[in-house]
Structure formats: structure tokens, C-alpha cells
Chains A and B, each alone.
Chain A
Amino acid sequence: MVGKIFGCRWKFAIALFLLFCVLILLYFFNPVEYQLAPKCIVKMTTGLSCPGCGMQRFLHALMHGHIYEAFSYNWFFVYAIPYTLLLVAARINLLSRLPRLEHALHSSIAVYFYLISYFIWFIVRNIFNI
């Protein structure tokens, strides 16, 4: 059963292990206070915040229960994180009972909506310095 759910188990195990390590590190270390925290290539080279910037601060705040503060670092995650989690669920065959949802997630409308909102958020956050 487990083997059926996790089609390629070792890849899934590695991804889960890496995610777990990252979450533990981010729980104990606030990325704002440490110089060695990973930096965004776009922000370092152009000075602009990319649509994914704020991910580490977001996770740190979220794991400490500061939900509003977490989303204030990047409002795009309100939409992007659930979408990604649903895609992960589809990937490990958890949505096989909901074929319509699975189809909608992979439809070109969903993909282009993600892409367009990604760029709109990129422009908006740099104009208003969010």
C-alpha cells in the first residue's frame, strides 16, 4: 500500500528528509539574524524582491505560530503554498479519488493563472515594497 502511494519511494524519502532538515534549521535559527542564511540570487543581483522572496522568514514565523506575520512577508504564499501542497498530494497519488480536482490542478488555466499571478505579485511587491 505504502509502495503504491509513494511511486518512487527513495526520491520521496530524500525530499522529505531534506525538507525536515530545512524546517528544523529554520525553526531554531531566524534567517534575518544570520548572515549565512541562503540569499536570493535575484535580490542579490538586481535588488528587486522576486515573487518567492520571504520563504525562510515565512516558514520561521509560521512554525512559531505567527500566522499573520508569516503571510505579511509574502502574500503570494496564501495561494502558492496550498497549490503546491495539492500538487504534492496529486504526485503521491493521494488525490486518485478526486480525479476532477487532479485534472483541474494540472489544467492550463491553473498553470497560467499561477504564472500570471506570479508576475503580477512580482510587480506589485516591488512597487509597494511589500
Chain B
Amino acid sequence: MNNECPKTHLLLAIISTLFCMPLGVFAILKSSEVKDFYLEGNLQKSLEASQKAKKYAWGGIALSVTFWLIYIVGIVLFALWLEKSLDAVGNLQ
């Protein structure tokens, strides 16, 4: 069995917090748990914390990017709708 300390994913978690996501904070907390559990000798929990840290950090970044994409699509649709409405008003006059 591999007894090395699991990856803490600290860098990913820090980047996730800078991406403006509260999920990054959870990622940092989980990431700090990795070493604590490892030093306690609880390798199973340490591995779980490592996986969760990775999941939260990527989740934060992905959510941020998804939010931006939805925002862009929203703006484009709104602009198209506005153009159409203005055309309709122009035709009425």
C-alpha cells in the first residue's frame, strides 16, 4: 500500500478563491485537512479530504466560468431581442 501523503491541491484551492468563489474556501479547508489526517495516521480520511479539495477547487473555477458564459449568452440574447423590438417600433412609425 502506498503510504505517501495524498496531494493537498493547495495551489488549485488558492487559485479557486481568487476566482471569486466561496467554494475555494471549502477547498482550502479540505486541503489543510489532508495533512492533518495524514499526520494522525488516518490515510483513508486524508485521501477523501484530498479528493474533496480537488473537487471543490475545480467546482469553484467551473462554476465561475459557467456563470460568465451564461452571462454572455444572456447579454447577446438581450441585444438581439432589443434590436428586434426597435425594428418593430420603427416599422410602426
User: Is A41 located at the chain interface by the 8 A CB criterion?
Assistant: yes
Contact of B17 among A38, A40, A51, A112 (CB under 8 A): A51
A13 sits at the interface (CB 8 A): no
In-complex Cβ contact of A111 among B20, B28, B63, B72 (8 A): B28
Give the B interface residue count (CB, 8 A). 25
Q: Does B47 contact A (CB under 8 A)?
A: no
Interface pair B18/A84, CB less than 8 Å apart = yes
Asked whether, in the complex, the Cβ of B20 is within 8 Å of the Cβ of A53, the reply is: yes
- Chief secondary structure at chain A's binding surface: helix
Indicate whether B71 reaches chain A with its CB closer than 8 angstroms.
yes
- Given A53-B20, A111-B28: A87 and B67 within 8 A (CB)? no
Picked from B8, B36, B68, the residue with its CB within 8 Å of the CB of A38 is B68
Tell whether A80 is near chain B: CB-to-CB under 8 Å.
Answer: yes
- In the bound complex, do residue B67 and residue A41 qualify as a contact, i.e. CB atoms below 8 Å apart? yes
Q: Is the CB of A106 within 8 A of B25?
A: no
Q: Which residues on the B side are within 8 Å of A108 (C-beta)?
A: 32, 35-36
| Contact yes or no, A52 B20, CB < 8 A | yes
Residues of A within 8 A of B46 (CB): none
Interface residues of B (CB under 8 A from A): 8, 10-11, 14-15, 17-22, 25, 28-29, 31-32, 35-36, 63-64, 67-68, 71-72, 75
